[in-house]
Structure formats: structure tokens, C-alpha cells
């Protein structure tokens, strides 16, 4: 009887592990999410140093190269301009609220579709 109990407990444990482990593994950040957070941090550093966000015209390039005559710029804020996991560039746009949005085109490669990865600030 004890072997049957041990076997039953072991089977229950293995079933629970088979259900829970894939869910736990899937909770990590994707490379695209990690890049979006890195870009957000770089933009925040830029804003602290210069007192403003990069303009729409400057875009993410302002994190790599100092915009003309911009006091307080202490970059570059990135080592390189990252691309998402599919090789697409990230987009940056200013929002009417005064914040910004970072976007990856997602698996379909088209911006402003349901599969986009978006980080708004």
C-alpha cells in the first residue's frame, strides 16, 4: 500500500508540474518587450538631461546623436538603434497627452495592427 500512495503522489506532482511549468516559463519578457523597456529608459534619461522629449522629427536618432545645439545632452543613450525580433525598426511618436509611444510592427510587419507590441508613456 505505501508504494501505491507514493506512486499516486508522484503522479499528481508530475501532472501539476506539466501544467504549471509551461505557464511559468511563458511569463518572461520577450526580446521585443525588453528592447521597448530599454528604449523607454533611454528616452527618460534624455528627458532628464535635456528637459524635453525627442521631437517627432528627431525621433529615436536623438538618443544616438546629439540634436543640433541641444544643451544638456549627455548621450549617446543607446549603443545602437535596436530592431525588433523580426528585424523591423521600432517607431517613436509623440502623443497629444504629452507622452510618447514606442511600437514594434509585430509578426505581420505592418504598423498599427492588432499584433503590434506597444509601450506608451
pLDDT digits (tens, 9 = 90+) for 57-98: 999 999 999 998 899 999 999 999 889 888 999 999 999 999
Domain ranges of the chain: 29-120
Give me the phi and psi of 101, to 5 degrees please.
-130, 135
> Is pLDDT above 90 for 25?
no
CA–CA separation, 25 and 100 (whole Å) = 30
Give the pLDDT of residue 85. 86
Domain 29-120 in this protein, CATH class: alpha beta
In angstroms and rounded to an integer, the radius of gyration of the C-alpha atoms of the chain is: 22
Separate counts of helices (H) and strands (E) for the chain: 2, 3
- When pLDDT is cut at 50, 70 and 90, the band that residue 14 belongs to is very low
State pLDDT tens for residues 33-48.
Answer: 999 999 999 999 999 9
User: By percentage, how much of the chain surpasses pLDDT 70?
Assistant: 76
CB atoms < 10 A from the CB of 46, how many?
Answer: 26
Short-list 38, 95, 111, CA closest to 103:
111
Fill in the DSSP letter of residue 79. Answer: S
Amino acid at each position: 500500500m505505501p508504494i501505491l500512495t507514493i506512486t499516486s503522489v508522484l503522479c499528481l506532482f508530475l501532472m501539476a508540474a506539466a501544467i504549471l511549468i509551461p505557464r511559468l516559463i511563458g511569463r518572461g519578457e520577450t526580446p521585443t518587450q525588453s528592447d521597448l523597456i530599454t528604449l523607454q529608459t533611454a528616452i527618460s534619461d534624455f528627458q532628464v538631461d535635456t528637459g524635453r522629449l525627442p521631437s517627432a522629427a528627431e525621433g529615436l536618432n536623438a538618443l544616438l546623436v546629439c540634436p543640433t545645439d541641444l544643451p544638456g545632452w549627455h548621450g549617446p543613450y543607446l549603443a545602437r538603434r535596436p530592431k525588433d525580433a523580426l528585424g523591423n525598426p521600432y517607431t517613436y511618436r509623440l502623443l497629444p497627452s504629452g507622452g510618447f509611444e514606442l511600437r514594434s510592427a509585430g509578426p505581420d510587419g505592418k504598423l498599427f495592427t492588432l499584433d503590434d507590441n506597444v509601450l506608451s508613456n
